[in-house]
Amino acid sequence: MEILAFGVQADEKPLIEQAFQAHHEVRCLDVFLNEDTAPIAAGHEVISTSVNADLGPRVLEALAAAGTRMIAQRSTGFNNIDLTVAERLGMTVARVSYYSPYAVAEFAWTLAMAVNRRIVRASTRTRDFDFRLDGLMGRDMHGRTAGVLGTGKIGEAFARIAHGFGMRLLGWDIAENPACMQLGMRYVPKEQLLAESDLVTLHVPLMPETQHLIDADALKTMKNDAILVNSSRGGLIDTAALVHELRAGRFTGVGLDVYEAEAGLFFLDKSLEAIEDDTLARLVTFPNVLVTSHQAYYTQEAVGQIVETTVRNVLDYTAGRRSENVLVPRS
């Protein structure tokens, strides 16, 4: 059986081919799955997709009609998949429920430090042999407060980093993490966390309940000189409201590895095209904002675990087994 993998990055391709070679043939495509590319999957019982794939009703119906019965998504998030439609069509859907939390946590901390210490601006200056320090003053993080929204595996890993820097820890989640509490984390209401934190980092999944978790009111609750980092899902932040606050001169820095309208933009080269997204175009012009292209997970360790789990999900499907990664079981 040949597996068709959509949205495969160049660094990811050899890992996927090597992982599948002992089990099934695999064909890797750099194009993302959407209505236009769905016909390519015709005749493939199993396909693998990336987090930016469009797996809405129209795409799922096209896939099912052309013979696809199993979707193995190479990510933890699955908000891009209409699971109700997939179940109605009798399609099996699996994801990667776990991979290295350190990859994302370390990158989130990197974003925080980059905007705090003005690393991008400093690097740009020195390339032009401008060695002035004007406008580059940052702050010690030691003794300040880090607010962690979502204290699962990634949030815990971030908390350990912040604790190592000597920060006071505040947490918010539906369940308290004992490991975080051992670090001295105190769980408080979201409003209190936002009001008291010098650094706010988001590590919750995107669901209807968390859509625009950081909305206009939440942003106004934050300190004027706070740092905001999002390495989870773009939809957690109301970006238009964030731009409004940035225009008012608020926040020491904002580090975003995700964007709520990133589909069709992130992972692609758009450097020779006009960007029609006015919100994103405005966002990247702020000197205290750093936007990266959904790369927090992109380490050898994390991608290796993602690929290994994806192979295991496919093997479970062909053997009729079910694991904790299955979102829609085989009918």
Q: What residues act catalytically?
A: 233, 262, 294
d(CA 56, CA 279) in angstroms, rounded, equals: 24
Q: Compute the distance between CA of residue 78 and CA of residue 86 in angstroms, rounded to an integer.
A: 12
- The amino acid at 70: M
Here the tokens at position 261 are: 């309208």
Tokens of 174: 């539906």
Q: Cβ contacts of residue 151 below 8 Å, gap of 6+?
A: 159, 171, 172, 173, 176, 177, 180, 185, 203
Give the three-class secondary structure for 181. helix
Exposure string over 38-64, b if 16+ CB within 10 A, otherwise e: bebbeebbbbbbbbbbbbeeebbeebb
